[in-house]
Structure 1
Amino acid sequence: METPAHEGGSVLDLFRLTGRVAVVTGAGSGLGAGITRALAEAGADIVAAGRRRDALDQVADIVTGLGRRCLAVPTDITDPGQCDALAEAAVAEFGRIDVLVNNAGVSHTAPATRERPEDFRKVVEVNLFGAYWTAQACARAMGPGSSIVNVASMLGLVKSVLPQAAYAASKAGLIGLTRDLSQQWSGRKGIRVNAIAPGFVDTDMIGEMNADTLAEFLRGSSLGRTATQREIAAAVVFLAGPGSGYITGSTLAVDGGTSGH
């Protein structure tokens, strides 16, 4: 069972990750790169996983520039064997895994009557199966006080204005997986498992979206804007560390109030 966070000292200590080792999937670009940087800023050493070695090396340079250590491990998370190798590489380099952020994900937009089986399978294999294989592998090396943060989506909670059956189903499944793994591991192994459900985030993908479609999405947001990457990364840092020590099995909506409508 996880030891409660120490009540002495500054409350800010509960948001520091000094001495911890964090594995981040999809770390090479976009939100994953931002999360990786934030975890390093909070004091964690990093194991950066993704498909592109060049992108991971760039992120590693940022992490080391912040004074933290970083191991880049090219990984296809749809292959359970590569997920096992990722966890083994983390333990070989750092001796432990304290945090896993399941961030890697893909999306696909197509009308349900015309979506190809291979496109649907690819989304589910990365977003849901990949998160499960990575959680399995890392949990074997994680001890009491560890934390898993699954990056789901508000589209696992609310409807989309675009036809995104595979993406919505995979993210809803990830939220269900979060609850189940929390039930299995929090009390017995001391590993807390939570998820965040981001709304639209200010990334390159948003820049490619049709302005009218984005505006329609944002009409459902109480704040009426996209999130910054730093706002999403801050939520991950919170759930990764001791400040959220009494939170498990929960999904934190970071969506500007969209899912509250």
Structure 2
Amino acid sequence: MSILDRFRVTDHVAVVTGAGRGIGAATAVALAQAGADVVISARHADQLEAVAETIRAAGRSALVVPADLSDPDAAASLAQAAYDGLGRLDIVVNNVGGTIPNAFLDTDVAYLEESFRFNVSTAHALSRAAVPLMLKGEGQKSITSISSMMGRTAGRGYLAYGTAKAALAHWSRLAATDLAPRIRVNGIFVGSVMTSALEFVAQVPEMMEQLETKTPLGRVGEAEDIAAGVLYLASPAGQYVTGKLLEIDGGLQSPNLDLNLPDLM
């Protein structure tokens, strides 16, 4: 086996959430190009169909499941959909999530709990439903969750988002302990990546310049940068890695975007 063969996931079945665009779409396509059949889910069926066409062009099967993945029950249902539709389940990628930045006094308990549900509860619901089905197959299985560098650093305005992403990161460490050795669980601390979440920044040259100049590698990331990391963690290339958070963030050690929130007076 060559080293490149270790990055193959031939005939495996993966579930990728938030797969209509951005990191989720790039990840679904990367897994397909490496040999997997993929269940893709997000809100918008038209976006999913476009991703599915690319997956099928790579010679793999795509199962499209439009759903509101802010609902943990909807997320959990994807596991059985994969098993029933494609016959097995090997890889789960928890990509759905996100929270709009907010000032501290505007972050009420409901906002915090909503952020936790969307970023953590959905990942747990899908993973919990997936585990019994993953254990029916032979070999190692993999769960990868998309966290954020804001889950390991501090920045004003990111209390809800950063807290939820930090929880998701530690959830990955704890789940890895519970599920070893049959199922490896890892995560990725993602930096600034040019997805729909940064569309408003891309329209403001001064903000884009700030993102780039404050990132040690001097650029905003691409969705494929993250997809490559997911493939590593999900494939035999990462078979000796579990309970870890891979940092794919351009070298960031602190936030690279100042939201200009004022001091409390």
* TM-score relative to the length of structure 1: 0.89
Where do 1:66-105 residues align within 5 Å? 66-105=58-97
Q: Is residue 114 of structure 1 aligned with residue 106 of structure 2?
A: yes
For 1:33, the equivalent position in structure 2 comes to 25
Give the length in aligned residue pairs: 250
Structure 2 residue matching 1:18: 3-state secondary structure: coil
Backbone CA RMSD of aligned residues? 1.9
Q: Is structure 2 residue 36 aligned with structure 1 residue 44? A: yes
* Counterpart contact for 2:82–2:89, Cα < 8 Å: yes
**Equivalent residue number for residue 20 of structure 1:** 12
Seq. identity, %: 36
Any idea what SS the aligned residue of 2:185 has? Answer: strand
Choose which of 208, 231, 237 in structure 1 pairs with 2:231. Answer: 237
- For the Cα contact (< 8 Å) 1:108–1:119, is it kept in 2? no
Matched, 1:251 2:245: yes
Alignment of 1:63 with 2:55, yes or no, is yes
Q: Matches of 1:139 and 1:259 in 2, distance apart?
A: 34
Aligned to 1:140: 132
1:169–1:211 CA distance, 2 compared to 1 (3 A): farther
- Indicate how the Cα distance of structure 1 residues 107 and 214 shifts in structure 2: closer, same or farther if over 3 A, else same: farther
Say whether the 8 Å CA contact 2:77–2:126 is kept in structure 1.
Answer: no
Deviation at 1:229, TM superposition (A): 1.4
Q: Give 5+ residue unaligned stretches, structure 1.
A: 1-8
Shift of residue 139 of structure 1? 1.3
The alpha-carbon distance between structure 1 residues 73 and 99, as it changes in their structure 2 partners (threshold 3 A), is: same
Q: Is the 8 A contact 1:153 1:199 kept in 2?
A: yes
Does the residue aligned with 1:71 lie in a helix, a strand or coil? strand
Instruction: Name the SS for the 1:48 alignment partner.
Output: strand
AA aligned opposite 1:37? V
Aligned-residue offset at 1:108: 1.1
Q: Residue type of the partner of 1:132?
A: H
Residue in 2 aligned with 1:5?
A: none
- For residue 106 of structure 1, report the CA deviation from its aligned partner: 1.9
Q: Specify the code of the residue in structure 2 equivalent to 1:201.
A: V
What displacement does 1:66 show? Answer: 1.5
Superimposed CA distance per residue, residues 89-146 of structure 1 (whole angstroms, 9 cap, x where no aligned partner): 1111111111000000122111011224443332221111111111111112113410
Distance 1:84 1:222 in 2: 38
Q: Where do residues 84-233 of structure 1 align in structure 2 (5 Å cutoff)?
A: 84-143=76-135, 144-160=139-155, 162-187=156-181, 190-209=182-201, 210-233=204-227
How far off its partner does 1:68 sit?
A: 0.6
Q: Say if 1:48 and 1:70, in contact at 8 Å, map to a contact too.
A: yes
Distance across 2 between alignment mates of 1:247 and 1:92: 29
Distance 1:226 1:110 in 2: 22
Secondary structure at 1:179 match in 2: helix
What's the offset of the Cα at 1:206?
2.3
Q: Residues 150 and 178 of structure 1 are in contact (CA less than 8 Å); yes or no, is this contact kept in structure 2?
A: yes
Structure 2 CA distance, aligned partners of 1:181 and 1:75?
25
Contact 1:196–1:253 (Cα < 8 Å) also in 2: yes
Q: CA-to-partner distance for each residue in 1:55-94, whole Å, 9 max, x for gaps?
A: 2222112211211101011233343432332111111111
1:155 partner amino acid: M
- How far residue 246 of structure 1 moved from its aligned partner, in angstroms, is 0.4
Whether the 8 Å CA contact 1:156–1:168 is kept in 2: the answer is yes
Q: Which amino acid aligns with 2:249?
A: D
CA distance in 2, matches of 1:114, 1:80: 25
- Which segments of 5 or more consecutive residues in structure 2 lack a partner in the other structure? 256-265
Alpha-carbon distance, 1:238 to partner? 0.5
Q: Where does residue 263 of structure 2 map in the other structure?
A: none
